[in-house]
Structure 1
Amino acid sequence: MKQYTGANVANITKIRQSDVFIGNTITVVGTVTVPTLADGEALKLGTLLRSLDGGLTWDVKPATFDTSADTDDIVYYEGKTYKSTADGNANLPSTLADWENLGDWDANGILYNDITTTSKTTVVVTASAKGKYLQGFDEFLRPIMFKNKLFVK
């Protein structure tokens, strides 16, 4: 139900671009890689993205570290990405015990439309956005997004 707004069931409406973005945006078109999703699921408008090739291709944030990871699993933890170097790794990634620090997860785009498959689509690269509608946002990303001209209100 996170993709809907409204006070009660009678007033539910689908989230629109105008709900997420404040004022003008600057966008690019690039290929967004959609990870495996459950049937009927989609990457939602407002999903944070990262491009490492100047906006040609975009990826979503890796899964947030929960309780354990296996060798070569890449996870997100407190603004950074880490790769596990051991199976059944239950150490917090920030300890670097059995983890390789891959650096900041440099959020530099926001998905402009819902998509269900890997495809070319519009990505916002400069904007003010409402944090409550951003998929994958946490406070560790605020300074990174600010540096990338994505301002969170």
Structure 2
Amino acid sequence: MLITVAIAVLCSACQTVPTAAQQAEKQAAAAAEQAKSEIAKAAAANYAADSTLIPFEKMNGKLTPVGEAQLDLLLPDLKTAKSIIIRGHCYRNDIGNAKAAAQARAAAVRQYLLMADIPSSKITVRFDTERPLHGVRLLVSN
């Protein structure tokens, strides 16, 4: 019995205690998972409100992670579409070079769709600076 107790004590002393680096890695993984969850929730909310409108930040032409996630939700329908019109929007009263911003937004979405293996022959790109809107509208015909 004394030997059993001695073995138990020795084994408990051998347990590894997580290092600070391991704890930091766990926290970073948890934070990344939470951020991913928040992005998915925002994309689902955008999709529910208007699935064909990909919002952009007012002064930006880059696709956001939320926009990418929303496009991912649309991909099954887009892959089977006969044609897709990508219309970039940027309100001319809000930004000095609204035309360039609208074109950059449409180009960002087009590039994302091309990377998702949607043929360029299906895609038409347009822009609009008349409406007070900052985003990209997708018009899909089956």
For this structure pair, what is the TM-score category when the shorter chain's length is used for normalisation?
under 0.3
Normalised by the size of structure 1, how large is the TM-score?
A: 0.22
More helix per residue: 1 or 2? 2
Normalised by the size of structure 2, how large is the TM-score?
A: 0.23
More strand per residue: 1 or 2? 1
Structure showing greater radius of gyration is: 2
